[in-house]
Structure 1
Amino acid sequence: MQYIDFAADDLTYHQSENHYSLEILRDILGFGEIKVYKKNDDDTFTDAEAVISEYNDKVIILVSHHYDLRIEF
């Protein structure tokens, strides 16, 4: 598996919906399974509660907290 790390600053906050989003082109991630992990204070990663959806050529990841993410694909 491959992964890409994203800093919390890469997330976009949607105040009206009270969540953060990250959009990634589908071509970057390929068409396999996608897993989302959050970075902990001790620099380890654990499963993140995330909603993953697709719109046109993008994968959209929604999370409720502002933290660094690792996207595994």
Structure 2
Amino acid sequence: MQFIEFKKEHFIHDEKTGNYSLEIPKDEIGFGDVRLQKKQDDGSLAKIDAEIIDDLKQIKIILESPQDIRVNF
């Protein structure tokens, strides 16, 4: 399984909903299953509660607050 890590700064704030989102093109991660983990202060990884919208061209990850995350694919 491969992964990409994203920092808090990669997320875009949606002022209408108050949430933060990140879009990843399918060209970068393929068309398989995606699993998310958040990076904790001690460097370990933990499960994260996020909304994932999967369409034909991209994956959109929506969080209530920006986090440093790892996207496994």
Shared topology, TM-score over 0.5? yes
Code of the residue aligned with 1:66 in structure 2: it is: P
Q: Which stretches of structure 1, 4 residues or more, deviate above 2 A after TM superposition?
A: none
Code of the residue aligned with 2:20 in structure 1: it is: Y
The runs of 5 or more residues in structure 2 that have no matched partner are: none
Question: 2:54 aligns to what?
Answer: 54
Secondary structure of 2:51's partner? Answer: strand
Q: What is the TM-score of this pair, normalised by structure 1? A: 0.92
- Cα drift, residue 14 of structure 1: 1.0
- Whether 1:31 and 2:8 are equivalent positions in the alignment is no
Question: 1:41 aligns to what?
Answer: 41
Q: What is the TM-score of this pair, normalised by structure 2? A: 0.92
Distance 2:38 2:65 in 1: 10
Secondary structure of 1:24's partner? Answer: strand
* TM-superposition CA deviations, 1:10-52 (whole Å, max 9, x none): 0001122011100000111111110111111111111111111
Question: 1:10 aligns to what?
Answer: 10
